[in-house]
Amino acid sequence: MEKALSPNQRKPRPVPRPRWRRYAPNPWVAGTVAIATLIALPVITVTSFIFVPAGEVWDHLVATVLQDYIVNSLILMAGVAAGTLIIGVSTAWLTTMCSFPGRRIFEWALLLPMAFPAYIIAYTYTGLLDFAGPVQTTLREWFAWSYGDYWFPEIRSIGGAIVMLSLVLYPYVYLLSRAAFLEQSSHAMDASRMLGCGPWRSFLLISLPSARPAIIAGLSLALMETLADYGTVQYFGVSNFTTGIFRTWFGLGDAAAAAQLSALLMTFVFTLIVIERWSRSRARYHMTGQRSTPLPTYRLRIGKTCLAWLACGLPLALGFLLPGGLLVSWSMATAAYVVDERFWQLVFNSITLAGSAALFALLLALYMAYSKRLTGGMGTNSAVRLAAMGYAIPGTVIAVGVMLPFGWFDNTIDAWARETFGVSTGLLLSGTLFAVMFAYMVRFLAVSLQTVEAGLCKIRPSMDETARSLGHRPFEVLGRIHLPLMRGSILTAILLVFVDVMKELPATLILRPFNFNTLAVRAYELATDERLMDASSAAVAIVAAGILPVILLSRSITLSRSAPQGRTAIAETGRLTAQPA
């Protein structure tokens, strides 16, 4: 409280506060803590099972499979970290700092793989590269080989899972690091050039260190997605924490042991969050000077252009063009009987759901991030962290965490209403779209929050102070100063959540109301039924719906670079997320 009020005490206000308000809880702090607690409820519910003793099953897990789970999860994380860093950072640097023909296209096209649900790409590649798939069959026919005569990488392995996840998750790193590179002051680059640094030295000494917080923010998003992935690892037979939780909970029927596994998983997540925070706190700098001068770019010669094409083209081809092309060709063959009136209903459901979830997550994120900026106390800080935990938890675990408190709430209200008024209220929340929406918030608020927070951090606090000293209230500062300045971050937050919700499966599957389907549900049901060709139309629609926002976003980034001098609104649109805070 003390701290929260301090800015007001420093500066004389035009109208003195009424006495009672000085002692009332700060609405920002109270609201943020309330939202965070609500959002964290499912995670808390699941972890509370830890206190249920699970002796025998836990011993069994420790004796048999736990080591596998830990080792495989670590390998998976290390592999995906390496994969997304190499692809994401290198392509971001190439498209920002170098000029070569085709760069404009790569700038936005490199984001496209993000629209793919990981499990869809896994199914597609398995169909293609499996022992029985067309590639290996053709090879065998050409060279008259049979099984055992030749070596071919096994797609359904932990290595395969790393490649699949890296291909669809690198855009997180690309997006955030490119934004950070764009933000870099051209003066620093000029200086490094004048001091005789070549492109590589400038990259290593200037760009990389100052973009590090953004890179790590992107990486932590990618790794959290990795930890939460179930579809891919399950299909590839890689036993890790996620598959282990399911197996323990449902196969062994032991919720407590499963919760203990979840808790162990959460320590991984927590470590990630701590690392990310730590890396940010060590580099705290805000917008400095004018950055409307175009960044100096390195013009590439023929040879290097080819290399740049290769570096940017390969992830694009493998992560989007190839699987996308396959899916489109399959859907052409099957669309005639798959695409009907029901299909368009699915498209409508998915888009409305994803759109409203994205907007709602943005509102919550804005409120929380702004409240953190205003008050900055321990309470709000840890509340904001708490609310972000859900991102790395598998959707099914979240869904169960949503169901338990909602079911309890509904039944309690119902019992009370029956007793008091003799009417049954039935289920108010369970089995409604509200429950689905809530689960999305639990799962994806972190994405919105991370993006908005990063955008807000870039704005110098002195601006707030100036505005406040001129008599603006916090909400006015937010509306008139901050929102216009962070349009880019806001757009990104909407885009990321939209695409994530379009792809989301397990929570939607379990929590949705009767007769309500989405594209992801449809694609998944057909794909797990091993009817990949029939699933392709729904998959194509998911990807297509994700492409449009991707292109819009990336256009606004590009515009920001070519904007004329001065602080135009367009230039600000491009100030993307996760700038060093």
Using CB under 8 A, which residues numbered 456 to 515 contact other proteins?
Answer: 506, 509-515
> Which of the ranges 129-137, 201-209, 279-287, 469-477 carries the binding residues for other proteins, by CB under 8 A?
129-137
Which residues, numbered 139-158, are part of the site for other proteins (CB under 8 A)?
146-147, 154, 156-157
Contacts with other proteins, 247-286, as mask; x by CB under 8 A: x-xxxxxx--------------------------------
Nearest residue (CB) to other proteins, 297 versus 528: 528
Q: Which is nearer to other proteins, 65 or 328 (CB)?
A: 65
Q: Using CB under 8 A, which of 8, 9, 67, 137 touches other proteins?
A: 137
Q: State how far the alpha carbon of 341 is from the alpha carbons of 130, 347, 524, 545, in Å.
A: 35, 10, 19, 18
What is the spatial distance between Cα 257 and Cα 58, in angstroms, rounded to a whole number? 6
Please identify, using beta-carbon distances, which residue of 99 and 528 lies nearer to other proteins: 528
78 Cβ neighbours under 8 A, 6+ residues apart: none
Contacting residue, 126, 192, 331, 560, with other proteins by CB under 8 A = 126
CA 436 to CA 439: how far, in whole Å?
5
Q: Which long-range contacts (CB under 8 A, 24 or more apart) does 522-525 make?
A: 522/343, 522/346, 523/117, 523/120, 524/119, 524/231
Shorter beta-carbon distance to other proteins: residue 414 or 465: 414
- Enumerate the H helices of 11-65 as residue ranges: 19-23, 27-47, 55-64
- What percent of the residues of the chain are helix, what percent strand, and what percent coil, each to the nearest 5? 75, 0, 20
Residue number with CB closer to other proteins (184 or 349)? 349
Among positions 170-229, residues that touch other proteins (CB under 8 A) are none
User: In this structure, how many other beta carbons lie within 10 angstroms of the beta carbon of residue 193?
Assistant: 16
196 Rama sector, left if φ>0, alpha if ψ -120 to 50, beta otherwise: left
Q: Which of residues 88-117 bind other proteins (CB under 8 A)?
A: none
Structure tokens at 166: 């890296």
Q: Which of residues 285-344 bind other proteins (CB under 8 A)?
A: 333-334
User: Which of 315, 340, 33, 339 is CA-nearest to residue 169?
Assistant: 315
Give the one residue of 102, 528, 544, 572 binding other proteins; rule: CB under 8 A. 528
Q: For residues 37-56, which are near other proteins according to CB under 8 A?
A: none
DSSP per-residue letters across 284-299:
-----S---SPPP-EE
Region of 199-207, 220-228, 310-318, 524-532 interacting with other proteins (CB under 8 A): 524-532
Between 503 and 522, CB nearer to other proteins: 522
Minimum distance from residue 157 beta carbon to other proteins (Å): 8
Nearer to other proteins, 171 or 395 (CB): 395
Of 7, 9, 574, 73, give the one whose Cα is nearest residue 295: 574
On whether the CB atoms of residues 33 and 380 are closer than 8 A, the answer is yes
* Residues 425, 219: Cα–Cα separation, whole Å: 46
Q: Which is nearer to other proteins, 310 or 415 (CB)?
A: 415
Q: Between 29 and 163, whose beta carbon lies closer to other proteins?
A: 163
Q: Give the Cβ contact number of residue 429 at 10 Å.
A: 16
Residue 236 interacting with other proteins (CB under 8 A):
yes
Q: How far apart are the first and last CA of the chain?
A: 25
Q: Binding of other proteins at residue 572 (CB under 8 A)?
A: no
Q: Which of 58, 98, 186, 525 binds other proteins (CB under 8 A)?
A: 525
Strands (E), 259-381: 298-299
Residue with tokens 């349009």: 487
Site string for other proteins, 543-562 (x = CB under 8 A): --------------------
Which of these, 381, 208, 227, lies nearest to 279 by C-alpha position? 208
- Distance separating alpha carbons of residues 248 and 58, to the nearest angstrom: 9
For other proteins, the closer CB: 147 or 421: 147
CB neighbour class for 240 (10 Å; exposed up to 12, middle 13-18, buried from 19):
buried
Which tokens go with 5? 């009020």
Q: Taking the complex as a whole, how short is the minimal distance between the CB of residue 261 and other proteins, in angstroms?
A: 14
Determine the interface stretch with other proteins among 101-109, 240-248, 469-477, 547-555 (rule: CB under 8 A). 240-248
Nearer to other proteins, 367 or 434 (CB): 434
Q: Of 128, 411, 551, 572, which lies in the binding site for other proteins, with binding defined by CB under 8 A? A: 411
CB atoms within 10 A of CB 212: 18
Question: What is the contact mask toward other proteins in residues 1 to 20, using x (rule: CB under 8 A)?
Answer: --------------------
Q: Which CB, 24 or 333, lies closer to other proteins?
A: 333
State the minimum distance, in angstroms, from the CB of residue 430 to other proteins: 5
Query: Binding segment for other proteins among 34-42, 57-65, 110-118, 569-577 (CB under 8 A)?
Result: 57-65
Only segment of 17-25, 113-121, 134-142, 464-472 that touches other proteins (CB under 8 A): 134-142
Distance CA 545, CA 94 (A): 27
Cβ closest to other proteins, residue 68 vs residue 190: 68
Q: Token pair of 124, please?
A: 């597609």
65 binds other proteins (CB under 8 A): yes
Which DSSP helix (H) or strand (E) runs through 209? helix 208-228
Within 351-410, the residues that bind other proteins by CB under 8 A are: 356, 360, 396, 399-400, 403-404, 406-408, 410
Radius of gyration of the chain (CA): 25
- The nearer residue to other proteins, 403 or 486, going by C-beta atoms, is 403
Identified binder of other proteins from the candidate list 73, 91, 517, 577, rule CB under 8 A: 517
Amino acid found at 342: R
Among 295, 339, 428, 570, binds other proteins (CB under 8 A): 428
Cα diameter, the chain:
90
